[in-house]
Homo-oligomer: A and B are copies of this chain.
Amino acid sequence: MRILVTNDDGIFAEGIYYLAKGLQNIGEVIVAAPNTERSATGHAITIHHPLRVDKVKFFDTTIEAYSINGTPADCVKLATEALLKDRKPDLVVSGINNGPNLGTDVIYSGTVSAAVEAAIMDIPSIAISMGNIHIKEYTDASDFACRMAEKIFHHQSIIDTIININYPTCPKDKIKGVKVTTLGIRKYANTFIERKDPRGNSYYWTSGTVVEMEQNTESDIVALKDNYISITPIHFDLTHFKTFEKIKSWNFEI
């Protein structure tokens, strides 16, 4: 099994190191990841400047690794279509993200978008994130990603599905189990902080604190809060079939 590993925290983040190291136990690993942190880049791709690729030494390993001045989605596209043209990966794994990717937030997530890009190219994929940004013990999550990769290989039928994993950061003996979940709702308050520069002009930082709100009990947010490993199947068909018939009943004229 050939596994392409990427992330949005940048190629020299700790999470991708433990992920790539772990996945070496189950297949051939190639790393292609952004040269700097690219959090919150969503599904952006780079069309206004060209992409540069540097082959780099990946920590203390001999893993084939490429550092790219692009977004996570760029990395997956470029690796698959150019760098590994005759060596198409069997699986793409993105992470381990330093912090959760839950609910509505997945749409902003570079980590998840890299996995979505793989699915668009008919490659099964996993995104994996730590439930908390303050704990950096990645070994258990990496082990879990390996087992998930093997499951995906066993169940070949989910090619259009991205597996989004959020891994709790409590001690392992406190983890209650694994839950297959839906995406919950994340909303933010105080989303911008206004400041003044030395010339008195305003500028705004994107910020925000998560608003506590009622969640579906099946949601990823509830599962993680209750110390479950959350697994959400995701796809990229944004068609809203529920309102499809309703909107058809509207009368449109040219």
Interface residue ranges, A against B (CB under 8 Å)? 37, 39-48, 50-53, 71, 73-74, 77-78, 81-82, 104, 106-108, 113, 116, 120, 144, 147, 151, 155, 157-158, 160-163, 172, 175, 177-178, 180, 182-183, 187, 191-192, 194-195, 201-206, 229, 231-244, 246-248, 250, 252-254
Contact = CB atoms under 8 A, between A and B. Distances in A.
Contacts of A195: 50
Given A50-B203, A206-B47, A238-B106, A113 B42 contact: yes
9 contacts: A42-B42, A81-B191, A107-B238, A178-B253, A182-B239, A183-B238, A183-B239, A234-B238, A235-B238
Contact of A42 (B43, B182, B243): B43
A254 B178 contact: yes
Contact of A254 (B73, B177, B240, B242): B177
